[in-house]
Chains A and B, each alone.
Chain A
């Protein structure tokens, strides 16, 4: 332990710092929806890549749910081989520009980087983003997808993917690269699932998602919009149409409310509604776009996760005078990524911690005017190891607000599961799937992402898509 500490100190002092990420100025960025993190340029990327130790036994690869060969692609960045670096990442990751932006690298590749004990792990996520952006910006992608890099697609080997979020897109990329025809069925009018309706433009520009989808299209993946699996087409019908396997990646997506008085007042929105109006429907451009956006002077967001912070930072950009994030524990227990929390605070979002909503107050005409909060205190740890909050008797606070966004999680969307009784669900309504392959109680029907695990991260859904894709390819002899 002691030697470790000394080593850390000694090592840490010699290690160069991470190359800082260029950012939009906090004062300016709350007035626009443009991306906050601006990305490395070539010199910054090369300098950061040089910090990689090129370990004999790299740990970063195992740290990645989709097993990106970080060591190799970083070496290729040092060598200036952009196309090679992109190919290396793309071998296992169909959405590099997305992952470079929204993965919690601190818990994954960077969390297990040999330099992490010094507090200065290689900025693998930023490098991944650089490679994807720079590669897409050059015309090199055509050389990659123009012919010999992709195998001929066998039209008789058809696989259906339901939902066009990260798990399905990953699966589609893997299977297409193994010569299997994939059709992706999306219920909404735009492709990308949570990447387009959930994650805001300032964190993940929609153009990035479109580029990743275009790459898949050029690989022969087919997309159908406005198809609601379970409604427009059922799973047995897909098999009748000749699909050999079906992957279900429909996400969680059914918003939870808290069941407290006043929840249906005008001004109370689920985070899904609030974010969908802005992101998918471009409500912030109303009336140029038709979908109206609730604009409040005083906004509260309930919850401590990434979605809560996305909603709070969106409210700032829509011109709110004050935005409070209400959370029943303390800042340390918030599940949000540290980086997002820091960005939110820089932008002026305030935290109302140790506070649990008890009721919404209305003006008698149906409009929200305030939130009654119960002051909490932390007690002993619960099963999850986090200290359990307890109410402080008699301590109620009133927070005046005209908009409240509820970001306390989501449940399984029932549309597909209700219409597919053969599909076995767990007690919480999520699909039961084999942890190794994702296969469900229906033969050749696989599932992955939030509809299996409950709300989680983009890259975990991608990992699930990749595992199922490998198994499907194997069973189809590819």
Chain B
């Protein structure tokens, strides 16, 4: 059992950050790794990217968007409650080396995972340019945390309440146009955003890495549910990834496969919500 040490609602009712007591995971967690968790005997296993860790305190930070039964149930837990299964760190860690200028681009809840990767690049001595976006200023995640180590912090909001009015990918293009020294781009967020980022960076020939989030069951290479096509070959996101060369990923197939259990996910979520209302 893994205890919840701290809970912070980043966007009330939608996005939450949890600090979990899991020393064996914290000790080994690297940027890019994820965990698989399960909440009850009847529960499903879901993957969540590690947003941060503190090996000395033995804690792991996860951030999730409430979008289905498991995340909704997770959101009912508070400090002192426990998570039944918390397995990790899984997946290959981000390849980080000293390169110079690196752009770390995040959208939606993906900013949390990107934060861990950006921190890794910063610790490796890279000049990190953070680009994050949201619908409006108050929905931006990890802005202050990123600003504390990013050499530059660029923001895009749909309503223009902070930074550029528009998409993060527009900020990315503008930044690439005026700076030929950018060596790598890391993009984590909703699949359409990652696909758009890949399209933006391709003409510049800049290496671009995306962190994929397909459906998983075990998370340790056993089932193949998370298979994605990269460079026309089948890869398992859980053991070969989750990070891949953005210019080689078949994003259309990823979007299609993410919808494989949409009706069941809906049914499960609705059932949970209706039960919860009647309490």
Q: Chain A interface (Cβ within 8 Å of chain B)?
A: 187-189, 197, 225-228, 231-233, 253-255, 257, 259, 263-264, 266, 269-270, 272-273, 276-277, 280-282, 285-292, 365-366, 413-415
With A264-B253, A291-B44 known as contacts, the answer to whether A253 contacts B90 (CB < 8 A) is no
The 8 A-B pairs with the shortest beta carbon distances in the complex, nearest first, are A292-B264, A273-B223, A290-B44, A366-B256, A226-B87, A270-B224, A189-B85, A291-B44
The answer to whether B43 has its CB under 8 Å from any CB of chain A is yes
What residue in chain A is nearest B229 (Cβ atoms)? A264
With A233-B24, A264-B234, A273-B224 known as contacts, the answer to whether A292 contacts B268 (CB < 8 A) is yes
The answer to whether B126 has its CB under 8 Å from any CB of chain A is no
Q: Which B residues are in CB contact (< 8 Å) with A257? A: 224, 227, 234
CA distance in complex: A288, B267 (Å): 11
In the bound complex, do residue A281 and residue B44 qualify as a contact, i.e. CB atoms below 8 Å apart? yes
Q: Which A residues are in CB contact (< 8 Å) with B217? A: 273, 276-277, 281, 291
CA distance in complex: A189, B84 (Å): 9
Q: Which A residues are in CB contact (< 8 Å) with B236? A: 254
Q: Can you offer 23 A-B residue contacts whose CB atoms are under 8 A? A: A188-B220, A189-B84, A189-B87, A197-B218, A227-B24, A228-B88, A231-B90, A253-B221, A254-B239, A257-B224, A257-B234, A263-B234, A272-B223, A273-B223, A281-B44, A286-B264, A286-B268, A287-B264, A287-B271, A290-B44, A290-B69, A413-B239, A415-B221
In the bound complex, do residue B28 and residue A225 qualify as a contact, i.e. CB atoms below 8 Å apart? no
In the bound complex, do residue B256 and residue A266 qualify as a contact, i.e. CB atoms below 8 Å apart? yes
Nearest CB of B to A193, in Å: 10
> Which residue from B86, B89, B256 sits with its C-beta under 8 Å from A231?
B89
The answer to whether B139 has its CB under 8 Å from any CB of chain A is no
Interface residues of B in 205-235 (CB under 8 A from A): 217-218, 220-225, 227, 229, 234
Nearest CB of A to B248, in Å: 15
Q: Which B residues are in CB contact (< 8 Å) with A281? A: 44-45, 217
In the bound complex, do residue B45 and residue A189 qualify as a contact, i.e. CB atoms below 8 Å apart? yes
CA distance in complex: A76, B225 (Å): 48
Q: Which B residues are in CB contact (< 8 Å) with A269? A: 224-225
What residue in chain B is nearest A256 (Cβ atoms)? B224
Q: Which A residues are in CB contact (< 8 Å) with B87? A: 187-189, 226-228, 232
Nearest CB of A to B145, in Å: 26
In the bound complex, do residue A255 and residue B42 qualify as a contact, i.e. CB atoms below 8 Å apart? no
B244-273 to A contact mask, C-beta < 8 Å, 1/0: 000000000100110111001101100100
Q: Which B residues are in CB contact (< 8 Å) with A285? A: 42
With A189-B87, A232-B88 known as contacts, the answer to whether A292 contacts B265 (CB < 8 A) is yes
Q: Which B residues are in CB contact (< 8 Å) with A228? A: 87-88, 90, 220
Q: Which A residues are in CB contact (< 8 Å) with B259? A: 266, 366
Nearest CB of A to B36, in Å: 8
CA distance in complex: A407, B104 (Å): 41
Nearest CB of A to B43, in Å: 5
With A226-B85, A231-B28, A289-B42 known as contacts, the answer to whether A415 contacts B220 (CB < 8 A) is yes
Nearest CB of A to B241, in Å: 13
Nearest CB of B to A267, in Å: 8
**Which of B86, B220, B225, B259 has most A Cβ within 10 Å?**
B220
With A189-B87, A414-B239 known as contacts, the answer to whether A264 contacts B45 (CB < 8 A) is no
In the bound complex, do residue B218 and residue A276 qualify as a contact, i.e. CB atoms below 8 Å apart? yes
Interface of A is mostly: loop
In the bound complex, do residue A232 and residue B28 qualify as a contact, i.e. CB atoms below 8 Å apart? yes
The answer to whether B70 has its CB under 8 Å from any CB of chain A is yes
The answer to whether B25 has its CB under 8 Å from any CB of chain A is yes
In the bound complex, do residue A272 and residue B239 qualify as a contact, i.e. CB atoms below 8 Å apart? no
CA distance in complex: A172, B231 (Å): 43
The answer to whether B173 has its CB under 8 Å from any CB of chain A is no
Known contacts A187-B87, A188-B87, then 9 further A-B pairs from the complex at CB < 8 Å, ordered by chain A residue: A189-B87, A225-B85, A226-B85, A228-B87, A254-B236, A276-B217, A366-B256, A413-B221, A414-B221
Interface residues of B in 34-66 (CB under 8 A from A): 38, 42-45
> Which residue from A227, A233, A259, A366 sits with its C-beta under 8 Å from B234?
A259
Q: Which B residues are in CB contact (< 8 Å) with A282? A: 42
Q: Which A residues are in CB contact (< 8 Å) with B84? A: 189
In the bound complex, do residue A266 and residue B222 qualify as a contact, i.e. CB atoms below 8 Å apart? no
> Which residue from B44, B218, B271 sits with its C-beta under 8 Å from A188?
B218
What residue in chain A is nearest B255 (Cβ atoms)? A366
Q: Which B residues are in CB contact (< 8 Å) with A276? A: 217-218, 222-223
CA distance in complex: A225, B264 (Å): 28
What residue in chain B is nearest A362 (Cβ atoms)? B256
With A266-B260, A276-B217 known as contacts, the answer to whether A290 contacts B70 (CB < 8 A) is yes
CA distance in complex: A264, B221 (Å): 16
In the bound complex, do residue B257 and residue A413 qualify as a contact, i.e. CB atoms below 8 Å apart? no
**Which of B70, B218, B229, B267 has most A Cβ within 10 Å?**
B218
In the bound complex, do residue B25 and residue A232 qualify as a contact, i.e. CB atoms below 8 Å apart? yes
Q: Which A residues are in CB contact (< 8 Å) with B70? A: 290
CA distance in complex: A285, B264 (Å): 12
What residue in chain B is nearest A295 (Cβ atoms)? B264
Nearest CB of A to B4, in Å: 16
What residue in chain A is nearest B87 (Cβ atoms)? A226
Nearest CB of B to A252, in Å: 10
What residue in chain A is nearest B92 (Cβ atoms)? A418
What residue in chain A is nearest B252 (Cβ atoms)? A366
CA distance in complex: A197, B217 (Å): 11
What residue in chain A is nearest B220 (Cβ atoms)? A187
Nearest CB of A to B69, in Å: 6
Q: Which B residues are in CB contact (< 8 Å) with A289? A: 42-44
Q: Which B residues are in CB contact (< 8 Å) with A225? A: 85
Q: Which B residues are in CB contact (< 8 Å) with A292? A: 261, 264-265, 268
Nearest CB of B to A249, in Å: 15
In the bound complex, do residue B222 and residue A253 qualify as a contact, i.e. CB atoms below 8 Å apart? yes
Nearest CB of B to A225, in Å: 7
> Which residue from A231, A233, A270, A288 sits with its C-beta under 8 Å from B223?
A270
Q: Which A residues are in CB contact (< 8 Å) with B239? A: 254, 413-415
Q: Which A residues are in CB contact (< 8 Å) with B25? A: 232
What residue in chain A is nearest B70 (Cβ atoms)? A290
CA distance in complex: A255, B267 (Å): 29
B161-177 to A contact mask, C-beta < 8 Å, 1/0: 00000000000000000
CA distance in complex: A197, B253 (Å): 27
Q: Which B residues are in CB contact (< 8 Å) with A264? A: 227, 229, 234, 253, 257
CA distance in complex: A259, B232 (Å): 10
CA distance in complex: A269, B222 (Å): 12
CA distance in complex: A281, B225 (Å): 14
In the bound complex, do residue B222 and residue A255 qualify as a contact, i.e. CB atoms below 8 Å apart? yes
CA distance in complex: A177, B236 (Å): 40
Interface residues of B in 59-87 (CB under 8 A from A): 69-70, 84-87
In the bound complex, do residue A231 and residue B88 qualify as a contact, i.e. CB atoms below 8 Å apart? yes
What residue in chain A is nearest B43 (Cβ atoms)? A290
